[in-house]
Amino acid sequence: MSDLVYCQKLKSTSAKMSKQPFPGPLGEKIFNSISQEAWNQWLNQQTMLINEYRLNLSEPQSRSFLSQEMQKFLFEDNSEPPPGYQSEKN
């Protein structure tokens, strides 16, 4: 088994995740086509979205929103920050 994967997010070959991030077909797709670096970027993006939108992950609509944003971020490259969001780096 290779320790590298062609990452669809970064558009380059990079270190593969050590395990599938969650069960099911989407978890398998992510494991086979997203690098650890891109996954870490998503986890940071996810945290920002949860905080900025004050998502309650016990609510199905919040989980659905995050799933859609994850797919946009990792595979479509069109995920945008919340309106008016300014990162701490600014």
Written as six digits, the tokens of 18 are 């050590």
Reported as a single tens digit per residue, the pLDDT across 9-22 is 999 999 999 999 99
Give me the mean pLDDT over the 30-36 stretch: 98
Domain assignment present for residue 86? The answer is no
Of 35, 88, 46, 53, the C-alpha closest to 69 is: 46
Q: Which domain holds residue 24?
A: 4-76
Reported as a single tens digit per residue, the pLDDT across 64-83 is 999 999 999 999 988 888 88
Other C-beta atoms closer than 10 Å to the C-beta of 70 total 21
pLDDT band at 1 (very low <50, low <70, confident <90, very high): low
- Rounded Cα–Cα distance for residues 1 and 4 (Å): 9
| Torsion-angle region of 4 (φ positive above 0: left; ψ -120 to 50: alpha; else: beta) | beta
Give this prediction's pTM. Answer: 0.88
> Among all chains, which residue has been given the structure tokens 């494991």?
31
> What CATH number is attached to the domain comprising 32?
1.10.3880.10
pLDDT of residue 23: 95
Domain assignment present for residue 11? The answer is yes
